[in-house]
Amino acid sequence: MSRRSMAFTSTFGVRLPVFGVFLSLLGLLLPILAVFTCGNAVRAEGMTVAPIDRQTMEIASNRHVQPYGEIKTVTSTLDTDGFQLVARTDVAELWLSEAYHTIRIVDLRTGYVWGAIPLEGARNLNASWRSYAGSIVSIEVYDSRNVERRYGLLGNAKVEYSLLEDGFAFSADFEQLGIALAGSIRLVGNKITFELEEGSLVERGSYRLKSLAFLPFLGSVFGDEIEGWFLLPDGPGTLMRFRPPGSYVAGYDNRIYGTDLAVGELSEPQSLGTSRPNDYVVSPNQVLVPVYGIVHGIRQDGLLCVIEEGAHYASIVATPAGLNNMRYNSIMARFEYRQSYSRTATRSGAGALVPQEHMNIFTPKQSLYLLCGAQADYDQMAVLYRDLLTADGTLGRSLDEIHLHICILGADVRPVALWKQWSTFTTVSEAKGIIESLRAGGVDDLLVVLRNYTDGNVAGRSLNSRLGSLEELEDLRREVERLPGGIGDLQEGIEGLQGGIDGLREEFSAGGRLLLYIDPVRANEDQINLRLQAAHSMNKNPIRIQRDNRTALYPDTYFYRPDVIEQATLQHTRAFSGYGAAVDQLGSRLFGDYSTGKESTRADNMQRFLSLLSELREQQGGLSGQQGGIHEQLGGLAERQGGHESDKHPGHGLALYTPNQIAWPYADTFLDFPLVGGQYLFETDTVPFLPIVLKGSIALFGPFLNTGYFERDRL
């Protein structure tokens, strides 16, 4: 079912001005857009120029799924000649070439052979690239001059193999580099798992490990010789179909769970080429899930590739044919052990790019699932991935209802001459009036998010007195959630209610949810003490994101230290105990902090942030405030009257803004869901991979259409 969502405010006492509407879908697939043809044919000097067909232009763009056309049967370009069979199941075989340090995987259901590149005669690749592309494990390093270099096993490492019941183990020593590692490749059913042995990675020379990848060119295709595509975790999901080599200046290279702001680049060089500030450039979608897919032959043979461990230090890298004169389409998961950062060398701020001194500590693990027939398509990949996440507890069953999302703004700063002045947009009592007016008009079942309601709009502070009192906030919650007088009254009157417990539960299910917005991670210059509260990057400067728009009131965004984030979050739980939360950044932003004496890595902070999400979910008691207690009482009464466990109303999770997969166990609502991919030139389709994964587990709400860049006909 679909719901429209609105943002309301009351400005300077004027009631109900509408800021706008955005689309929300449970089990969101893709928006169905109204398009039309404009203009008439133009005749010039005997030549008829067809009118611009906006419908064709829109539907044919990579913002939509494109038809497959005539489906061709494909055959593998690889074979198992010169390989040794090392493992076999009912559906697959694993073959090893010790001479070339590479593998072949055979799907016994179709006979298709998977691998990287041919043993001999790989086109358009020199010896260095052949070694890197085809090895079961390949690395990138920094040499003594901090120059990046890449190496595969072939011709560069001494490798020893030992057979296992379900695969083989290997140990590799890059003697000239002073780097050694060990790992294994196993086949169980249709699942092939690559994994490094914990603690096996050793550096003993001047070379420092930058990254590692398992079989980097697995599933690669030379130009468009094979019909198929890569599935990229870009937005809701995108396809990169195999096409002839083109003139590309960049490929797809994005960190899973976003850039580490303490180490990586804070901005990307891009320009609108107009007088409008470059701040209006839309940022690329963040990679929310550690997964990608490969299909050779539409609905014929495919691989679903899942990063099981080390995802927070990994990137998805897809290279279209033609980039850097490389004629292969390739995709891989690259595990990042080090990154370069700008180390300040002078008082003026000048510096040089140097690699991290210490490598990131984690153990890479990646699994591939062999797919065939109808499974080898993006929709069935999504179903498989959803099943995997359900099995490991990441996803569960959500509430049955989906609400109309309304965002209400309280107070904020606006520029006045040379000063800044606080302005009240919507008081708490006016917000209650908005809800009452909507109810009177038949609009019910609301998800209301109250923003900008604390002193200084700082997370953890008390309610801004300009907006009202805590009693008025409680009245607003009662209006939104339709709370009755008390649980005792319900228990006394439960038997007299027509319909019994089921009827009473239905009555409360018609209510809504009031959520208080909290962003304990970011701050502007007026909200943070840079010396005492700001997180610092490796160059010991405060972490910040600079907007290329000097007309903005706050062009710079800063980030709090993890201990300050923890303190603000816990203060919020005490100040607004029992209220539901709409949490921004905490489930989507992942970074290290190198403040002197308080250093913590990206991995350290990931655990801290997830613990805070758990605290927030626990403090709201499953359901916010009294409503949670009511449903708990209803569950107990149902049990005493012979009800079943399935009759109990499930508890609420958090509402999270664009959360990474690691935060999904704490969420039942996904706000700001991306509707399209990044629209890179090499992407050919936007597909509903992520909506299918989340369908039935998390309610999805799109961004505010009225404050975005959508044309009227697309709304």
Q: What is the mean pLDDT of residues 290-299?
A: 98
Q: Which helix H or strand E contains 480, and what residues bound it?
A: helix 470-481
Stated as kind and residue range, the H or E segment containing 124 is: none
Residue 176's Cβ-count burial label (10 Å; 0-12, 13-18, 19+) is: exposed
Q: CA 73 to CA 372: how far, in whole Å?
A: 13
The kind and range of the H/E element at 489 are: helix 487-493
330 has a pLDDT exceeding 70:
yes
- Rounded Cα distance between 333 and 423, Å, is 48
pTM exceeds 0.75: yes
Q: What value does the CA radius of gyration of the chain take, rounded to a whole number of Å?
A: 28
What are the distances in angstroms from CA 636 to CA 151, 479, 484, 487, 640? 63, 25, 18, 12, 6
Structure tokens at 669: 């609502």
Q: Give one DSSP letter per residue of 572-637, joined into a string.
A: HHHHTTT-EEEE-STTT----B--TT--B-HHHHHHHHHHHHHHHHHHTTSSSHHHHHHHHHHHHH
Give the rounded percent of residues in the chain with a pLDDT score beyond 90: 68
Instruction: Tell me, letter by letter, the H, E, C secondary structure of 174-234.
Output: ECCCCEEEEEEEEEECCEEEEEECCCCCEECCCCEEEEEEECCCCCCEECCCCCEEEEECC
pLDDT tens-digit series, residues 91-145: 999 999 999 999 999 999 999 999 999 999 899 999 999 999 999 999 999 999 9
Question: Does 452 have pLDDT greater than 60?
Answer: yes
For residues 135 and 218, the answer to whether their CB atoms sit within 8 Å is no
pLDDT in tens, 687-707: 999 999 999 999 999 987 666
Q: Summarize the chain as % helix, strand, coil (round to 5).
A: 20, 30, 45
- Supply 290's token pair: 């550690």
pLDDT band, residue 342 (cuts 50/70/90): confident
Kindly compute the dihedral angle of the four CA atoms of residues 293, 297, 298, 299, in this order, to the nearest 10 degrees.
-80
461-465-469-472 Cα dihedral, nearest 10 degrees: -100
Higher pLDDT, 619 or 513: 513
84 — pLDDT class (breaks 50, 70, 90): very high
Nearest one of 257, 370, 233 to 693, comparing CA atoms: 233
Position 477 pLDDT exceeds 60: yes
Q: Kindly give, in sequence order, each residue whose CB lies less than 8 Å from that of residue 612, ignoring residues fewer than 6 positions away.
A: 520, 565, 566, 569, 586
pLDDT confidence tier of residue 58, bands split at 50, 70 and 90:
confident
Nearest residue to 156 (alpha-carbon basis) of 144, 172, 134: 172
Query: Which pLDDT value is given to residue 628?
Result: 45
Q: What is the pLDDT of residue 635?
A: 45
Per residue in 436-448, pLDDT (tens digit) is 999 999 988 899 9
Lowest mean pLDDT among 55-69, 510-524, 616-630, 648-662: 616-630
* Residues whose CB is less than 8 angstroms from the CB of residue 32 and which lie 6 or more positions away in sequence, other chains included: none
| CA dihedral sign of residues 284, 289, 290, 293 | negative
Per-chain mean pLDDT for the chain: 85
Extract the tokens encoding 63: 């913002």
Supply angle C-alpha 58, 61, 67, rounded to 5.
105
Give me the pLDDT at residue 625, please. Answer: 40
Number of H helices, E strands in the chain: 11, 40
DSSP secondary structure string, 392-420? TTS-----S--PEEEEEE-EEEEEETTEE
CATH of 84-391, one of 1.10.3470, 2.70.98, 1.10.540, 4.10.860: 2.70.98
Query: Quick check: 23 pLDDT over 60?
Result: no
> What is the per-residue pLDDT across 242-276, written as a single tens digit (0 to 9) for each?
999 988 889 999 999 999 999 975 445 456 666 66
pLDDT tens readout for residues 534-590: 999 999 999 999 888 778 889 999 999 999 999 999 999 999 998 999 999 999 999
pLDDT confidence of 608, banded at 50, 70, 90?
A: very high
